[in-house]
Each structure stands twice: as structure tokens, then as C-alpha cells.
Amino acid sequence: MQKSMNHFIDEGWIDWAIEMMEAGFESENLYMLAGTTRPYNQFELQDLTTKVLKDLGLDYGDRELTIKNYVYYLIKTSLNNPATYLNTLRILSDICRELDYNKNYMDFYFLYYAKNELKDFEEQFYWNGANRNNIDLIIVEKSNEWIKKYELEKAKPL
């Protein structure tokens, strides 16, 4: 996702490369990325990550699809772990903002601010009816709705 949005390459990419190797993926470029240390040369890393993604058959050319797939991954991996909700919502909120407040991600934008407010205050004004007792249930409900919509779109024949 970060590659399709032209973000800087950072430690997260190195960690990802190591995780990919641990999962059994192999490529000379993947090994090089996993072994990269500071200081990072963005020009070299941009080229190297492009090669790694090509080696692994991961296409990031369709920006919208790449973002949707990344959002799906984030939601699925955090769905049953309430400790991760706030961080996941922060990332989704950043994506929403970066995409000029794309309507597909607005629920996550508002849920992030609602949950964040409820950390410190009894009330919030971002999500109607949300409070400390039900915010996680709302997050799960909206996440499941998004996943269902994503999976239905993905299942449509071309």
C-alpha cells in the first residue's frame, strides 16, 4: 500500500522483508532488502522494493485495489483484538485523509476520533450513540460490514 502511495521506505519494509523470508518466500532482492541498514538511500530502496514486489508477484499498479487490499488486511488482523483497534483506526483514518476523505473510509475516520476521545472523556461527538461500553462493538460491526462489502466486490466476475 505504501509503495502505491509513493511513501518513503522505512524500517517497516525491512521488517516486512524478514517476515516474508520467515514465511518461506525467497528472492535475492528480498534478502537484500531484509539486510538493509541505516542510513537509507530512498532512491536505492524504491528500486529495490519494486524488484522485490515483482519477484514475489505482488502487483501494486492498481492504487485503489492495493489500498483496499491493505485496509482489508488491517481490519482482518485486528478484528478480534480490541487492544489493536485504536492503532488500526488511526492508520485507516490517515488513509482516509490521504485519499481526500474518501467515503469508503469515513466510518473508520470518525470511529478513530470517537474511540480516541473516549480514552480520556466520558463523551464524544464523532459517532452518534457511541460510548465507552459500546465503541468496540460498533467498531466490530462497521469492520464486518466493510469486509462483507469488500468480499462481495472481490467475488464479482470481471
Q: 74 and 36 share a domain?
A: no
Q: 96 and 40 share a domain?
A: no
- The grid coordinates of residue 145 equal 460490514
Q: Which of 57, 66, 90 lies closest to 7 in space, CA to CA? A: 66
- The grid coordinates of residue 43 equal 532512491
Q: 70 and 146 share a domain?
A: yes
Evaluate whether residue 111 is within a structural domain. Answer: yes
Rounded Cα distance between 88 and 31, Å, is 28
Rounded Cα distance between 5 and 71, Å, is 13
Structural domain boundaries enclosing 90: 63-155
Q: 121 and 67 share a domain?
A: yes
Q: 114 and 136 share a domain?
A: yes
Rounded Cα distance between 157 and 124, Å, is 42
The reported pTM is 0.70
Residue found by looking up cell 488511526 in the block: 90
Q: Output the tens digit of pLDDT for each of the chain's 158 residues.
A: 555 455 677 787 888 888 778 877 789 999 999 999 988 888 999 899 889 888 877 777 778 887 888 898 889 989 999 999 999 999 999 999 999 999 999 999 999 999 999 999 999 999 999 999 999 999 999 999 999 999 998 877 65
Q: 93 and 109 share a domain?
A: yes
